[in-house]
Amino acid sequence: MSAHRIRHLYSHNLIRPNNSLSRFSQQLLTMVNVDGEIQILKDAIKEYGSKNSDGKYSVTYGILFEKTANTLEALNGTLRAAKRQKKVAFDAELLMHPKDKDVQVVLLEE
């Protein structure tokens, strides 16, 4: 079942919380949402960063933090999800602003 179809079912209350499909649907919607957040992150790295010596886009965490404050509610969560999916790389387990403002976030996959 497509994410679009699931959203349609939710919007028309055709899937209810006590329905067994609901749990699966919620997980699918969460995955779709995470993918959307990662795409916003990738676009921001390209827009605000520059190509490094390896030819990959790179931006400091400080700039990313400032520029995505209004578009990404959970920047750290999105960064961690993107790192797990090997779409970005950075040299830290968790980035904190302002302490890690100079850490480079590298886009691995365009």
pLDDT of residue 33: 74
Query: Residues 29-71: pLDDT tens digits?
Result: 555 577 888 999 999 999 999 999 999 999 999 999 999 988 8
Q: Which of these, 104, 69, 100, lies nearest to 78 by C-alpha position?
A: 69
Interatomic CA distance for residues 48 and 100, integer angstroms = 17
Backbone angles phi, psi at 58, to 5 degrees: -145, 145
pLDDT of residue 25: 54
Above pLDDT 70, what percent of the chain? Answer: 71
Residue 110 clears pLDDT 90, i.e. is over it: no
Query: Which is more confidently placed, 57 or 5?
Result: 57
Across 104-110, average pLDDT: 93
Q: How many CB atoms lie within 10 A of CB 70?
A: 7
